């Protein structure tokens, strides 16, 4: 069994390489409780019999701690995947390829394997990334903005707004009539508007693929048609490591 891990800024997701669950397994973490959280969650899993494969955008300290935990508890190695300049017809649009986030790259690899060109890939997490690939497989670039919770925390920290009411449901009202709902709904719409705008620029023939924890909520607000693929990055990792034969 080979386990695939996606280490984000605040969450870790994983899948068994051979048997994907519909929704990735996931847990939140902080740097302060990282080792304890790994022990709490991962010791419930059967130890893998092959190297653990990782895509990570976390800090070097988190990566080192993760690798040490895997070696100490499971006695296997950790392989960190890196961004590439090219993969089949997919071509990295960054002048310095490795500056494109490795999570964004493997989501694009997963998309080029599963969806027709051109497409837009939107990862809705702690940050929101929107990447565009044209009909020739050229990555044209993309956008990065704060995610929903990040936007809300930033606004609250820079103002005197005090949110002391329960978080409302996005379906409760069309036009929010209280501050908490106004902030939440405004953040959702800001993200949705960016995605709709990019999709309009790329054209109607393009496919819009949503992934990440906020994909379902954002998908409800989009004017454009979209598909949700919660395992997009894992499909990209699986396809890539199959060619690298490990």
Q: Do 133 and 213 lie in a common domain?
A: yes
Alpha carbon 9 to chain centroid distance? 10
Q: Do 122 and 226 lie in a common domain?
A: yes
Q: CATH code at 43?
A: 3.30.420.40
Tell me what the mean pLDDT of segment 186-209 comes to.
91
Q: Do 46 and 132 lie in a common domain?
A: no
- How many folded domains does the chain comprise? 2
Is 172's pLDDT higher than 60? Answer: no
Asked whether the beta carbons of 200 and 224 are under 8 A apart, the reply is yes
* Helix spans in 162-202 (H): 179-202
Query: Can you give the residue range of the structural domain that contains 15?
Result: 3-80
Quick: pLDDT tens for 89-144.
Answer: 999 999 999 999 999 999 999 999 999 999 999 999 999 999 999 999 999 999 99
In terms of C-beta density within 10 A (0-12 exposed, 13-18 middle, 19 or more buried), how is residue 37 classed? middle
Characterize the bridge pairing of strands 119-124 and 207-211: parallel
Look up residue 105 and give its two tokens: 């790259």
Is 171's pLDDT higher than 60? Answer: no
Task: Tell whether 96 is covered by a domain.
Answer: no
144 forms beta bridges with 129
Instruction: For residue 236, give the nearest of 99, 95, 96, 133 by alpha carbon.
Output: 133
């Amino acid at each position: 069994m080979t386990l695939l891990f996606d280490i984000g800024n605040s969450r870790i997701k994983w899948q068994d390489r051979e048997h994907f669950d519909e929704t990735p397994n996931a847990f939140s973490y902080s740097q302060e409780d990282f080792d304890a959280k790994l022990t709490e969650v991962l010791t419930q899993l059967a130890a893998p019999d092959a190297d653990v494969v990782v895509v990570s955008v976390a800090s070097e300290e988190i990566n080192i701690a993760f690798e040490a935990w895997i070696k100490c508890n499971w006695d296997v190695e950790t392989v960190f995947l890196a961004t590439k300049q090219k993969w089949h017809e997919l071509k990295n649009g960054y002048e310095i390829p490795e500056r494109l986030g490795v999570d964004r790259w493997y989501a694009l690899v997963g998309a080029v394997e599963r969806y027709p060109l051109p497409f837009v890939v939107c990862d809705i997490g702690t940050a929101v990334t929107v990447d565009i690939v044209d009909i020739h497989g050229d990555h044209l670039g993309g956008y990065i903005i704060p995610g929903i919770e990040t936007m809300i925390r930033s606004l609250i920290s820079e103002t005197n707004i005090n949110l002391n009411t329960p978080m409302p449901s996005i379906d409760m009202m069309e036009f929010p009539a209280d501050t908490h709902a106004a902030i939440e709904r405004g953040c959702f719409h800001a993200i949705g508007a960016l995605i709709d705008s990019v999709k309009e620029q790329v054209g109607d023939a393009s496919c819009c693929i949503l992934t990440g924890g906020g994909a379902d909520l954002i998908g409800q607000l989009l004017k454009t048609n979209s598909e949700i693929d919660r395992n997009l990055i894992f499909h990209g990792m699986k396809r890539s490591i199959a060619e690298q034969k490990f």
